[in-house]
Amino acid sequence: MSDIDGRAVAKALRAEVAAEAERLRGEGVVPRLAVVVPTDDEGTAWYVRSIKKAAEKEGVDCRIEHLKEPGRDEIVAKLQELSADDSVHGIICQTPLPEGVTLAELGWYISPYKDIDGANPESLGRLAQGRRTWAPATAAAVLELLKREDVVLEGARAVVVGRSTVVGKPAALLLVNESATVTVCHSRTKDLAAVCREADVLVAAVGRAGMIGADFVKPGATVIDVGTNPTEDGGLVGDVDYAAVSEVAGRLTPVPGGVGPVTTALLLRHTVEAAELSKTHG
């Protein structure tokens, strides 16, 4: 078994981002990501600081828009303001959101030209149409890791565990577009382990620490662990039982150090792409 090194993939991506950002700055365009933070949640604050640090290291400006106990209308107004602001190229909205407000609904207020985390239904629809768009960065990170590892997707059986709008469904659509035979599983799936064992490529995005055991994995399969479950001692563990699955899988992403750093790097890559796009779409 070999680990898939997400940090190495992220490093390569970020070097590409830095080169692009420098080129854009040379043309007078400062690539800028705006992060709307509608919460005082500490975990979110920590994550947002890590994005800002990564962005600024690679020459991408990062503007944090912290809203204190906002209502729905205040978040919508902020997303509209940023969508209309020519100096902003990428917009993401963090969670948790106020009671009764969903990202699915707020995403509509992010201009599709700036929707670098695929929150607007139009972006998701274009993904389903197989057209050029930004997928949610975590789903895009799954594909990026598989491609950088030269995993054959055409004709492969891929199983995605989890059907969220931000990971499971877009990852499944990306894999279908790459000509994998794709199965989407979830909490209602019967005999989940047996279905997962059909997979040449297994994507775990359920949000339950260590639930994917060795009996879920076909020997030699490639396993991408999207889970980031906090542990009691302040660490992170994935959805995959790493110790057990590493005995069976061919390749496996660790947590931390797998999907996470690639997701952050892709938010930056998408932002420089959006900045490039802004030259024609203003």
From candidates 25, 72, 148, 186, binder to a copy of itself by CB under 8 A: 186
Stretch binding a copy of itself (CB under 8 A), from 15-23, 93-101, 174-182, 224-232: 174-182
Tokens 């775990």 belong to residue: 204
**How many whole angstroms separate alpha carbon 172 and alpha carbon 184?**
7
Spell out where 102-197 has E strands: 157-161, 181-185
The CA distance from 281 to 178, in Å, is: 28
Q: How far is CA 191 from the centre of its chain?
A: 28
| Binding to a copy of itself in span 106-125, by CB under 8 A | 108, 120-125
Beta carbon of residue 170, minimum distance to a copy of itself (angstroms, whole number)? 7
Using CB under 8 A, which of the segments 25-33, 64-72, 149-157, 210-218 binds a copy of itself? 149-157
Confirm or deny that 148 is annotated as ligand binding: no
CA atoms within 13 A on the CB side of 200: 12
Parallel, antiparallel, or unpaired for β 236-237 and 229-230? antiparallel
CB of 120 vs a copy of itself, minimal distance in Å? 7
Q: Among all chains, which residue has been given the structure tokens 């598989």? A: 146
Neighbours of 8 (CB within 10 A): 14
CB of 130 or CB of 219, closer to a copy of itself: 130
Q: Is 164 annotated as a binding residue?
A: yes
Contact call for residue 182 and a copy of itself (CB under 8 A): yes
Positions of E strands within 120-245: 157-161, 181-185, 201-204, 222-225, 229-230, 236-237
Which CB atom, from 154 or from 233, has the smaller least distance to a copy of itself? Answer: 154
Asked if residue 155 binds a copy of itself (CB under 8 A), the reply is yes
To a copy of itself, the closest distance from the beta carbon of 182 in angstroms equals: 5
* List of long-range contacts for 129-133, beta carbons under 8 Å, 24+ apart: 130/177
Q: Please tell me whether residue 6 adopts helix, strand or coil conformation.
A: helix
Chosen residue from 12, 64, 67, 195 binding a copy of itself by CB under 8 A: 195
**Min dist. Cβ of residue 263 to a copy of itself (A):** 19
Residue 104 interacting with a copy of itself (CB under 8 A)? yes
Which of the stretches 90-98, 128-136, 207-215, 260-268 binds a copy of itself when contact is defined by CB under 8 A?
Answer: 128-136
- 185 near a copy of itself, rule: CB under 8 A: yes
| The pairing of beta strand 32-37 with beta strand 2-3 | unpaired
Rounded to whole angstroms, the Cα distance separating 227 from 245 reads: 14
Whether 263 has a binding-site annotation, put simply, is no
Q: Which of 42, 46, 69, 190 binds a copy of itself (CB under 8 A)?
A: 190
The whole-angstrom separation of Cα 281 and Cα 244 is: 50
> For residues 135 and 196, is the Cβ–Cβ distance under 8 A?
no
Q: Candidates 72-80, 172-180, 206-214, 254-262: pick the segment binding a copy of itself (CB under 8 A).
A: 172-180
- In the annotated binding site for NADP(+), the residues are 162-164, 228
Binding site, residues? 162-164, 228
- Where does this chain bind a copy of itself (CB under 8 A)? 104-105, 108, 120-131, 154-155, 157, 163, 165, 169-170, 172-173, 176, 179, 181-186, 188-190, 195
